[in-house]
Structure 1
Amino acid sequence: MANELTVEKSDLEYKKNSKNHKTFGMCQKRLVVRRGQPFHITIYFHGRGFEASVDKLYFTVETGPHPNEAEGTKAKFALTDSLQEGTWTASVVGQEDNKLSLTISPPASAPVGFYKLSMETFTGSHNKTSSITSFVLLFNPWCQADSVYMEKDDCRREYVLNQNGIIYQGSYKCINMIPWNFGQFEDGIIDICFALLDMNPKFLKDPGRDCSRRNNPVYISRVISAMVNCNDDKGILYGRWDNNYKEGISPMEWIGSVDILRRWKKSGCYPVKYGQCWVFAAVACTVFRCLGIPARVITNYKSAHDSNANLSIEIYRNEKGETLWNMSEMIWNYHCWTEVWMTRPDLKQEFNGWQALDPTPQEKSEGTYCCGPASVKAIKNGEVNTKYDAPFVFAEINADLVEWIKREDGSNERLNTATMVVGLMISTKAVGSDQREDITHHYKHLEGSMEERETYKKANHLNKLAAKEEHPEEKQKIRIKVSPDMNKGNNFDVFGVINNISSEEQNYWLLLSARTVSYNGRLGPECSKKEMSCVTVEPLSEIKIPLRIMYSSYSDHLTESNLIKVNMLLQHQQTHTFMMAERDIYLMNPNINIRILGEPKKNRKLVAELSVKNPLQIPLLDCIFTVEGAGLIQEQKRVEISEPVEPESVAITRVDLMPRWSGLHKLIVNFESDKLKAVKGHRNVIVGL
C-alpha cells in the first residue's frame, strides 16, 4: 500500500506566467493570470512522487466570500490528460521524482477576482486536502473566447499594457494635451481595483451574486462607472466645479491615477477631493486596464448636456447677450469620458466594440450616478433605444443648438439654430504614439450630411419625441478673430469681424465682451467690454473691431482651465434682429523643460532636471514641482521652491529616479504656484538593461 501523497511546497513560476499572461508588473510576489489561458505551477511532494496508477488528484478554485458552484464562483475538477475549453481543467506537463508540473486553465467566462486553489489527493482509502496557492484572475483581451478580445496586438499594447497616456483639453480651435500616469501595474493598484468592486452597493447587498456577475464586462463597467464618483456610495472621487478647492487638491493638479487611488485606499475609502471629467475618466481607464479590459480616454469638444432628453440644447440670453442660466441648458467647452472594448451579447452583434462609459456624475441611470456602456456604433446609427444611456451620449455629440433672445417685454426671439456646433474634434491618443487621433467619424456621420440629419431624425423618433422644426443655417456674417500671442500673462487683442454681403450700407448696434470661463461653460467676471451704438458697414465690405484684453483684468479671475469666452452681439438697427458670434480662447501655459542627466539603466539611479520660466509680470510664490512616472519612481515626489521666482527668471530643481523596468517610460511633471497653475510637461525615457 503506497503512502499517502503529501504536498511539501509549490512553485508558482512567476517569471514564466507573468511573461505569458502579460502581467509582468503585477506578478512579483503573487500569481496574476488571465482567464481563458493556462498557467503553470509545479508541486513538490514529500517522501514520494505522484503515481497516476495509484493517486487521484482533484482541484478546487474559489472566489468571493460565499463560493458557490451554481453561481460559477467555485469549481471542482479532476486532473486530466489534456486541457478542455469552457471549463476549469488541470493537466500534467512534466514529472520528475517528487516534482509534478501542471497547467491550470480557467474558462474564458470565469468571474475575475481573487481565487484560492486547493488540491485533494486520494491514495486508496486515504485522502488529504492541501492549500496550493491564491491567485488573481483578470480579463484576457488576447483570448478569442473572452468577451473583451481585441484582435490587433498594437491596440492591446496601447489600451491594456500602456501605463501612460495623453488627455486633451483646451478648446477645439486650440487643442491642449496633458500627460497622464495611468500606472495600472504599479504596486498595490490591483488590490485597490478589487477593493473598489467590493465597496460597491451591489456587492454589499448580495456578495455572492455580485461576484458571480464579475464574469461580464458590461456589468463590471456599470459598477466602475458608478464607483469612480462618490455620489451614491463610498466611491473614489468627489466632483467639484466651483473653483473652490481649498479643502482638497484642484482637479487640474493631478497628473496620474496612482496617487488618487492610493489616497482613497489609505483614507479608508473616503472620497478624494477633487475630480472633474478628465480625472474621473482617467481613473476609470486605470481600473479597466488593470482588470484587463481595453480602455481609453476620449475628449469631446463642445459637449452638450441635455438635461430634458429632447436632443436639443436651448440657451436663453437677455438683450445684452448674457446667458440666463435658470432657463438654459449647458454646452461644455469639452468633456471627457472613457471608452471600453467588449462584446455586447445584450445587443445586436453589430454593436460590439467600443462602448462609451462616463463616470462623471451628471445624470442618474437606473437610480445611480453612472452612464453607459453605450455602443459607439449604436450612437452613430441613432439607435438611442439601446442600453445604456444612449440618448444622453447621442445628445453630447449630436444635439442641435437653439439660441433665444429674451426681450425685456418677455417675448422670445429665435437668435440662431445651429446643427453643427456640438460634438467637434472628438479626440483620443493614437496607438503607439503621442499624436492625437480624431475619432469624430466613429460617433457621427459628416456634419451637415444627409446621413447625419437622417440619423438625428431617427434618434428623435426612437426617443419618442416630436421631430422639431428645421431651420436653414444663416450664411455666416460675423465672426471673432484672435491674435497669435495668446499666452498666459500677455495682453492681446481679439477682433469682431462683420462682413456685409449685401449691396446696401448696414448699420448695427454692437456689444463685444470677454469673460473668464470654466471648461464646463460657467462664466466668471467680465475682463473686457466694448459697446458701440452705431457701426456702419459699407456694401460688400468687411470691418474689424478690436477688443483689448489685459492681463491685469483677467489674471485674478482666470480659472485653471485657462479659458476666456468672447461674445459678439450685433443688432441690426433697421430690423432690430440679433446676430451673435462666440469663441472660446485658450491661453497657453509656459513649457516645462525636462533634462535627463545620465544614461537610463534598470536599477540605476537617474536624475531629472526640471525648469519653468516665469512669463508673468509679477513674481511667482509657493512654487511646487510634482513628479510621477510608472516604472521610474515608486511614489509621487513633490519639491517646493522656497524663494520667489521673479519675472523672466527660471524655477529649477532636480529629482532622483530609480528605473525598475527596461523599455519606454514617461516622466510626468506638474508645476504649481500662486499665479501660475497646472503647468504640465512630460519626457519619454528609454531605460536600458
Structure 2
Amino acid sequence: MDSMQQQALHKNRGTDNCHIRLKIVNFETHDNQISHETQGLSDKHLVVRRGKPFKLTLLLHGRSWNPCTDRMVLDVCLGSLFERIPVLFNGERTGHPGWSAVMYPDKRHSQSVTIYVCSPVLSSVALYDLLVHIDTIQHRKTYAVGKFVLLCNPWLKEDPVYMPLNVHLDEYVKSDYGLVYMGTCANISKQLWSFGQYEPGVLEACLTLLQISPQHMNNSHQDYMLRADPVYLSRVICAMVNHNDDLGILEGRWHGGYKDGVKPTDWSGSADILQQWVSSKCRPVRYGQCWVFASVLCTVMRVLGIPSRVVTVFNAAHDSDANTTIEEYYTSIGEKLNLSQDNIWNFHVWLECWMRRSDLSAEFDGWQVVDPTPQERSAGIFRCGPCPVAAIRQHCFGAQYDTPFLYASVDADVIQLIVKNGLVVGRAVHTEQVGQLICTKSVGSDKPENLTRTYKGIKRGMAPRLEVSLNIDGVPLLGESIRMCVTVTNQSSNTRALMEHVNAQLKEYNRNPQESFWKTHKEMHIKPWEVLTLHHSIPYSEYESILAGDGMVNMAVVIKDTRTRERVMAAKEFSISTPPITMEIEGGDIIQVRKEHAVQVTFTNELTKTLMGAVLTVEGSGLMQEKQEVRLVFLQPGQKIEMGVSIMATSPGTKLLVATLRHSNSPMIVSRSYQKVSVTAV
C-alpha cells in the first residue's frame, strides 16, 4: 500500500453496524517531509524528526465526528513497547510531556479531520507502527494504519544533536557527497565520496543495521529505550560498520589479494555497499579500509539525523601497547626495522559526530571522534568512541570513550632509536611528527579545513647540536625522478667529519616499510655553524618495477659524526602521483534528472614508456547502469586513450563519475579521477 494514503486495516472490537469508521489515512508525506527536512530519504515510509509535530489526515465514513461523544486514541508501537496517546480536540491541553496528538476538524469536509502528532524530543530512533482506536458510545474499533520512521532532530534546540547554523546542517546532515583526503602531508590527494543517503534502500538498510545489532538481538526492550541517546547510537553503529563482532557491513583487508571482493580503492560511495549488504542477507561486504569504514558510518549517522563529517589524520599513530608513545627502530644507515608493534599510518580516516555529552560535563559537548576501523577493542568490541575532541586536546584521559588511544593517534611522541649490533647508538624524540595535519572538507566548498589545533596543544623539544632535515622537491610524479634535499646544520663551534646515509624503502600507508630499494652514502666535513645542503635523485628506473598500488615511499637520512659517534636522523614519507584522467560533461556538471548527457573521457600517457594492455573504465552509481571500458594493446608515450559515454540520472542529488586507467606494465598502479555531478529535479 502507498504510505501517503492508506486504506485503514480494521481490527474489529465491537458491532459491525457502527456509525463511524476510519476509511483512509493520508500520511501527508510530501508536506511532512518538507517540514521535517527528510525529503528523498524514503519512498516507502513517512520519515519525520523527533520533537516536531507531523500531520495525518483521516477520512471517516458514516456520520460526522462528534467531539462530545467520540474519542480517538493513538498507539505508537516499538516491538512489545507502546505509548498510548489520547487525541485531544482543538483547544484542549495535554497534561503530560510525552507523546501528544491534537485533532483539527476540516471545515470544508465534515468527515475529514487532521491530527498533529508530536513525539518527545528524546524519543528513540526507529521504525514505529501506528494504530488508531475510535471510541463511540456504542463501540470501539482499532485500525492498523501504517508505519513511520522517527529520526534525531538537529534543527531542534532541545535535541542533543542540535546544530544552530543552517550552513552546518546543510553540510553535515543534508549533503550527500564529501571529500576524503589521503596520501601524505607532502602530497595530499582527495577522493570524492557519494554518501548516497537519498539512494533507494539506504535508509531501510540503516534501520536494518539497528535491528540486527547484538544489543537489539540480546535485549530489544532495552535497546529501544536507549536509542534516544546519540552516544549509545554511535557506539552501536560504530561496531556494526565493521563485521568483526557481529553481522556488520564491511570486512577489512589491508594486504594480499582482493579477487573475492572489491578493492577498497575501487569504492566511491556508500549506497552500493549498503545495498549489497542488505541484498546478501547481511553478509559482510568485501573489502574496506579506514576511509571506506568512516564514509559508510558517515552515511548512516547522517541518515539518522546526527551531524557528521569525515576527518583525515596525516601521520596517525597506532599505539598498540597503550603507553601513548611510538617507538621506531632504524639501522645505522637509515633502514627502518620492524621491531615495534607500534606504527604510524601515513593517513587514517575517522568520523566526527556532533552531540551534547550529557554523561560528561558541558566542556566536552560538540564534535566527538567515532572510529569504526577495527584496530583495538573498546569494552571488548571492535569500535572506538565517541570521544570528545576537547578531551583529546586537554589530555583528559578519563573522559569516555577511548581518549588515551585517540590522543596517541594525533599527538604521541615518536622515539626514534638507531641500533647497531643490538645496541642503541642514537636516540631522538619528535614531538610534532604525529598528527602533522588533521583536516576535513570545508563547509560549502571543496577546500580542506585544517582541524589540527582543535586536537593538539603546542609541544616543544630541545634542539640538538647537530641538526638534519629532509625535504622532497615538489610532488613526485610517476615516470619522473624523485628529487630530495638534505640540510645539515652544525650548531657547535667545532668542525665535524660526517658520514651521510640516505635510504629509500617501499611501504603501504598503514604498515611499516619493506626492504630498501635505493641507498647512497657520502663523507663530508662541516664547519662551525655551517649549513650544508645536499641534493639526491632517484631515477624512475630505480623504482618502476617495485612500486606498490598506493605509491608510498619511506625516505630516511642518518648523519653520523665519525669522531664522537653522535648520530642524528630525519625521515619523510611521501606518495607518488599518477597522470590524471580528464572527464568533460556536455553542458557542464549540473544536469537534469532523466535527461541524457554525453561525457568525453581522456587519458594521455605522460610517461616515457609504452603502456601495455591499457584499459580505461568509467562507472557511476545513479548515472550509468553498468560500467563501460575501452582497451588498447599499446599506449605510446604522448598517445591518448579516449571514450565517450552517456549518463542519465535516475534521482536528484550529487552523483560521482569514476574513471580508472589500468595497464599491465605495473598492474598495481592505477590512475583514477572523479567528477562530481549535481543532479537537479527540473
TM-score strictly above 0.5: yes
Matches within 5 A, 1:30-109: 30-63=45-78, 66-68=79-81, 74-80=82-88, 81=90, 86-95=97-106, 96-109=109-122
Query: Alpha carbons of 1:53 and 1:652: their partners in 2 closer, same or farther (altered >3 Å)?
Result: farther
Q: 1:330: which partner in 2?
A: 343
Task: Verify the 8 A CA contact 2:193 2:656 in the aligned structure 1.
Answer: no
Displacement of 1:133 in angstroms is 1.6
Separation in structure 1 between the aligned mates of residue 657 and residue 323 of structure 2, nearest angstrom? 42
Residue 569 of structure 2 corresponds to residue 580 of structure 1: yes
1:621-636 paired onto structure 2 within 5 Å: 621=613, 623-628=615-620, 633=623
> Shift of residue 44 of structure 1?
1.1
- In structure 2, C-alpha distance between the alignment counterparts of 1:486 and 1:271, rounded to whole Å: 37
| Alpha-carbon spacing, 1:8–1:673, altered in 2? closer, same or farther (3 Å) | same
Structure-2 change in CA distance of 1:57 and 1:276 (3 Å): same
2:674 aligns to what? 681
Which piece of structure 1 moves more, 285-294 or 38-47?
38-47
TM-fit CA distance, 1:32: 0.9
Residue of structure 1 equivalent to 2:265: 252
Q: Distance in 2 between matches of 1:475 and 1:5?
A: 94
1:455 aligns with none
Structure 1 Cα separation of the partners of residues 206 and 149 of structure 2: 12
Which residue pairs with 1:441 in the alignment?
Answer: 453
Contact in 2 for aligned 1:60/1:118 (Cα 8 Å) = yes
Residue in 2 that maps onto 1:314: 327
Code of the aligned partner of 1:435: K
Aligned twin of 1:360 = 373
Q: Which residue of the partner structure matches residue 547 of structure 2?
A: 558
Q: Does 1:24 align with 2:39?
A: yes
Cα pair distance change 1:24/1:645, threshold 3 Å: farther
Alignment equivalent of 1:416, drawn from 428, 450, 453: 428
Report 1:188-587 matches (<5 A): 188-408=201-421, 410-448=422-460, 472-474=462-464, 477-484=467-474, 486-532=476-522, 534-587=523-576
CA distances 1:328-373 after superposition (whole Å, capped 9, x unpaired): 5211111111000111111111211110011011111100111000
Per-residue CA deviation, residues 87-129 of structure 1 (Å, 9 max, x unaligned), is 2111123422221111111111111111111100011130000
Check whether the contact 2:131–2:143 (CA below 8 A) recurs between aligned residues.
yes
SS, match of residue 276 in structure 2: helix
In the alignment, the residues of structure 1 paired with residue 618 and residue 278 of structure 2 have an alpha-carbon distance, to the nearest angstrom, of: 21
Match of 1:610 among 601, 613, 619: 601
> Structure 2 vs 1, CA of residues 149 and 644 (structure 1 numbering), >3 Å: closer, same or farther?
farther
Q: TM-score, normalised by structure 2?
A: 0.91
How many Å apart are 1:536 and its aligned residue?
2.5
> Could you report, residue by residue, the CA deviation over 1:42-97 in whole angstroms, capped at 9, with x for unpaired residues?
1111233322122110000112xx322xxxxx211111136868421111234222
Letter in 1 for 2:245: D
Q: Residue type matched to 2:46 in 1? A: L
1:657 corresponds in structure 2 to 647
How far apart are the structure 2 equivalents of 1:535 and 1:511?
Answer: 11
Superposition pairs of residues 148-227 of structure 1, within 5 angstroms: 148-227=161-240
Aligned to 2:154: 141
Residues 305 and 329 in structure 1, CA contact (< 8 A), matched pair in contact too? yes
Pick closer, same or farther for the CA change 1:157–1:56 going to 2, 3 Å: same
Asked if residue 595 in structure 1 is aligned to residue 588 in structure 2, the reply is no
* Residues 99, 117 of structure 2: 8 Å contact kept: yes
Q: Distance in 2 between matches of 1:417 and 1:483?
A: 25
Letter in 2 for 1:627: E
In structure 2, the partner of 1:462 is none
Pair 1:207–1:557, CA change in 2 (3 A): farther
Instruction: Write the distance in 2 (CA, Å) between the matches of 1:268 and 1:199.
Output: 11
Q: For residues 232 and 626 of structure 1, do their structure 2 counterparts lie closer, same or farther at Cα, with a shift above 3 Å needed?
A: farther
User: Match of 2:246, SS?
Assistant: coil
Equivalent pairs: percent with the same residue? 32
> What is the Cα deviation at residue 40 of structure 1?
1.5
TM-score by length of 1: 0.90
Tell me, in whole angstroms, the C-alpha distance in 1 between the residues paired with 2:642 and 2:565: 57
Q: Kindly tell me: are residues 507 and 684 of structure 1, through their superposed partners in 2, closer, same or farther at Cα, counting changes over 3 Å? A: farther
Match of 1:10 in 2: 25
- Corresponding pairs, count: 654
Structure 1, unmatched stretches of 5+, are: 69-73, 449-470
* Residues 636/563 of structure 1: CA separation in 2 closer, same or farther (3 Å cut): farther
User: How far does the alpha carbon of each residue in 1:355-396 deviate from its partner, in whole angstroms, 9 at most, with x for none?
Assistant: 001101111110011100001111111111011001111111
Change (3 A) 1:433 1:645: farther
Residues 86 and 487 (structure 1), Cα distance of their counterparts in 2 relative to 1, 3 Å cut: farther
Q: Secondary structure at the match of 2:611?
A: coil
Q: What secondary structure does 1:232 align onto? A: coil
User: Match for 1:147: what amino acid?
Assistant: P
* C-alpha RMSD of matched pairs (Å): 2.3
**Matched residues in 1 for 2:465 and 2:188: separation?**
27
Q: Which residue of 2 aligns with 1:457?
A: none
Runs of 5+ in structure 2 lacking a partner?
1-14
Q: Which amino acid aligns with 2:673?
A: K
| Aligned-partner SS, 1:264 | helix
Larger CA deviation: 355-364 vs 74-83: 74-83
User: For the residues of structure 2 that align with 1:83 and 1:296, how far apart are their CA atoms?
Assistant: 41
* Contact 1:309/1:392, CA 8 A, preserved across alignment: yes
Distance 1:15 1:670 in 2: 37
Query: In the alignment, which residue of structure 1 is the partner of 2:6?
Result: none
1:456 paired residue number: none
